[in-house]
Amino acid sequence: MELFLLILAVVELLIIVCFVFKLVKNNRAYREIVEKSSQIVHGKLNVEDIKVKEGKSTSGIIAGSVNSIKSNLMTFVEATKGNVIVLSDAIDVLSKSADANQTGNEQIANGVTTVAGKTSEQFDLVKDNLDLIESNSAQITEAENAVRSMQSLLDVNVTNCREGIAQLEGYESDMNEMSKELNNIDQILNRFNEDINKIEEVGDFIINISNQLKLLALNASIEAARAGQAGKGFSVVADEMSEMSSKTKDGIDTINKIVQEVISSSEQVTESIRACEATYHKSAGTFEQVNSSFRSIDKQSNEIHNMMSEVSQKFVVIAKNTDETKEKATRLFDTSQAISESTSEIAAVSQEVAAESNEIANHTGKLGEMLTSIQGLLSQYNTAIVPSASKKSKPVKIMLISMYDNEFWFGVGRGANYAAKELALAGGVAEFVPVLPNIGKTVEQQAVEAIQRAIDQKFDGLIFPGWMDTQGYGVKAVENGIKVMVYNSDCSPELKRVACLCPDPAEPGLISAKSVAKDLGKSGQIAILHGDLGVTSNAERYNSFREELKKYSGIKVVDEVLVMDNDEDVYNRTLECLRSKKDVQALFITNGFPCSAARAIEDSKKAGKVRLYAFDTDPEIVSYIKKGIIACTVGQDSFGQGHDPVIWLYNYLAADEPFPGDIIHCRVSVIDRNNVDSLIV
């Protein structure tokens, strides 16, 4: 019995001790909750989450609620800061637009008055132009009729030329025939002269015979005288022969005289014929010239005829155009009249618009005041580092370079621009330089140009992603006295940067591995999509994920796929992996474009069978978490990565405030199916 009572007492003591221990433990948890809640109430939002152990204890539920409220409030404040940038730029544009609009309306009102006067002048000019068109139309009609008359005369001229050419050709043919006949007569006369010459030769022959007869008669007379009476008969014959010889000679002389006269006449005829031939040849040359002239006239007449036809056609076109011009001028006349009537209405409307522009300007001013109030409200919540109140004698100039091609880098830009506004109030200058792919220059070329400009313009500080340090230009900036800070990932040791702000690259891999183990029940198949492992952030996410998975022997990595840092490659490689590894249950991606991998899971009909583990946060990623395709994602504070380096470096340069460490880790947040509906993203 005593032993039982002793045991009962020990049990009661243990119960009391456990109760006291639990009470003390809960009080410690409550104290942490109260302490963190007090910090949040006083505007300090960049505090660590309250550690919540698994279970459904009251302190755990309260701690989870406080963490959720803090995360939502921080997300809201930082989103509002980003929206302040957008709203501020919009107000500036709207203000400038209102001023320009007001000035423009005043100019329009003045211009409308001028236009009214000019329209009246235009009205008169159009009317005068119509009268001129009417006159031109009549002149064109007369010119067209004259051209047609000229064309008719040319037609007659062409016909006459052609008839003259035909007659000349007939005359030429007759002249050629006459030339042939003259040639024939010349030949006949030549033969006739030859025959006459032969007659003359015969006459000479007969004269010689006559002379011989006369000599013979003389001899006969002598012999008859000698013979006496016996030769008396020979004497008579001799006398007759002598007389006949004399008559023959006289006749031949007459014939020769006639032949000489014929020859003389023949020569004159020949000379006349030759003169006719010379005249003919001369006439033939003249005729050829006349014929050539007629042909030239005929050719030119044809050309003129064709040209006149073309001119006539052009006159037809001109007449048609004149009719159209007249029609359009009439319409212009009517339009000018309508413009004249509408100008007064436009002037009245312009005055009304000017009044509305003044009203818009007033509202824009009120909107600017509201924006100032919002900025004052935001300043009460400390989500990150704030600019130091200390100032240098001259403004500190800082340049931040960033990629600008997806939602993460857009967040970096919003953070950098908000920091620039804070520095403007503190007396500093910050410039955000976005680097865009696919604009004709590589990312490296654009980064090098920006760094060189920072050197040339003597900036005090320079900030860029550590992986963007190429061609030694970061080192060159340091050598020129510029303080260089990197973010997103660290750089090579050769660059003597003052600090590096980046997410803990191992943390997404560690958190993702634990989530995989929890979701798969510590056994299953997984594939890894990794970027270039020469990039530090990719390598550390990959290594931490693999190292943590070693604790779960049942989970097997069945495939590792190298993916490039672009949408198309990530999508295609993910599809290939899912087709080749049909039993894979989970995918882990180390680099950007997780939505491309999620889209590949959805398009391959693997939603609900394969889940993706990634990092970064944007509305599209959240939508895939709600669909159950992305299991969880580890956010890496894109706004803070753009904002905080600018402020840290400014405080270092303007107030000599030290950095909290060589490497400053930005905060991370985990979004999964359990908290996605309660978070503001």
Based on the fold, state whether residues 140 and 271 are members of the same structural domain: yes
Q: How many CB atoms lie within 10 A of CB 584?
A: 20
**Confidence tier at 349 by pLDDT (50, 70, 90):** low
On whether the CB atoms of residues 513 and 545 are closer than 8 A, the answer is yes
Q: Count of residues for the chain?
A: 681
Domain containing 445 equals: 384-503+639-665
Based on the fold, state whether residues 249 and 184 are members of the same structural domain: yes
The pLDDT of 11-29, averaged and rounded, is 54
Residue 378 lies in a domain: no
Based on the fold, state whether residues 401 and 549 are members of the same structural domain: no
The predicted model scores a pTM of: 0.51
Based on the fold, state whether residues 389 and 405 are members of the same structural domain: yes
pLDDT for the residue numbered 473: 82
pLDDT at 1 over 50: no
Based on the fold, state whether residues 329 and 470 are members of the same structural domain: no
Based on the fold, state whether residues 164 and 271 are members of the same structural domain: yes
Residue from 401, 261, 336, 390 nearest 654 by CA? 390
Residue 427 lies in a domain: yes
Distances in whole angstroms, Cα of residue 438 to Cα of each of 403, 435, 443, 533 = 12, 10, 8, 24
Distances in whole angstroms, Cα of residue 523 to Cα of each of 194, 254, 553, 584, 667 = 147, 165, 7, 11, 30
Query: Using CA atoms, how far apart are residues 423 and 430, in angstroms rounded to an integer?
Result: 7
The share of the chain scoring above pLDDT 90, in percent, equals 28
Based on the fold, state whether residues 493 and 517 are members of the same structural domain: no
On whether the CB atoms of residues 402 and 435 are closer than 8 A, the answer is yes
Residue 629 lies in a domain: yes
Query: Using CA atoms, how far apart are residues 81 and 386, in angstroms rounded to an integer?
Result: 13
Give SS3 for 162. helix
Pick from 34-48, 209-223, 234-248, 537-551: least confident = 34-48
**pLDDT tens profile 606-647:** 999 999 999 888 788 989 999 999 999 988 888 899 999 999
The share of the chain scoring above pLDDT 70, in percent, equals 55
pLDDT at 4 over 50: no
Report for 111-115, 141-145, 372-376, 506-510: range of highest mean pLDDT: 506-510
- Residue 146 makes CB contacts below 8 A (sequence gap 6+) with none
Write down which residue in 277, 303, 335 finishes a domain. 335
Rg of the chain in Å (alpha carbons): 63
Based on the fold, state whether residues 134 and 255 are members of the same structural domain: yes
The pLDDT of 52-73, averaged and rounded, is 59
Pick from 18-27, 386-395, 459-468, 491-500: least confident = 18-27
Based on the fold, state whether residues 246 and 271 are members of the same structural domain: yes
Pick from 118-132, 542-556, 576-590: least confident = 118-132
Residue from 611, 662, 656, 370 nearest 502 by CA? 662
pLDDT for the residue numbered 310: 72
On whether the CB atoms of residues 530 and 591 are closer than 8 A, the answer is yes
Residue 79 lies in a domain: no
pLDDT at 238 over 70: no
Q: What is the CATH number of the domain that holds 183?
A: 1.10.287.950
pLDDT for the residue numbered 56: 54
On whether the CB atoms of residues 607 and 541 are closer than 8 A, the answer is no
Query: Using CA atoms, how far apart are residues 52 and 363, in angstroms rounded to an integer?
Result: 48
pLDDT at 417 over 70: yes
pLDDT at 264 over 60: yes
**pLDDT tens profile 430-463:** 999 999 987 788 888 899 999 999 999 999 999 9
pLDDT at 2 over 50: no
Q: How many CB atoms lie within 10 A of CB 276?
A: 16
Residue from 601, 611, 616, 498 nearest 565 by CA? 616
Residue 275 lies in a domain: yes
The pLDDT of 279-296, averaged and rounded, is 69
Residue 306 lies in a domain: yes
**pLDDT tens profile 290-307:** 667 667 776 776 777 677
Query: Using CA atoms, how far apart are residues 471 and 206, in angstroms rounded to an integer?
Result: 138
pLDDT for the residue numbered 206: 72
Residue 238 lies in a domain: yes
First to last CA, the chain: 66
**Residue scoring higher pLDDT (161 or 70):** 161
Based on the fold, state whether residues 625 and 648 are members of the same structural domain: no
pLDDT at 12 over 60: no
pLDDT for the residue numbered 396: 94
- Computed over every residue of the chain, the mean pLDDT equals 76
**pLDDT tens profile 635-681:** 888 889 999 999 999 999 999 999 999 999 988 778 888 777 765 55
Query: Using CA atoms, how far apart are residues 112 and 182, in angstroms rounded to an integer?
Result: 97
Report for 235-249, 285-299, 410-424: range of highest mean pLDDT: 410-424
pLDDT at 38 over 70: no
Based on the fold, state whether residues 166 and 252 are members of the same structural domain: yes
Q: What is the CATH number of the domain that holds 537?
A: 3.40.50.2300
pLDDT for the residue numbered 65: 62
**pLDDT tens profile 483-518:** 999 998 888 888 999 999 988 888 889 999 999 998
Total domain count, the chain: 3
Give SS3 for 417. helix
Residue 166 lies in a domain: yes
pLDDT for the residue numbered 257: 77
Based on the fold, state whether residues 180 and 251 are members of the same structural domain: yes
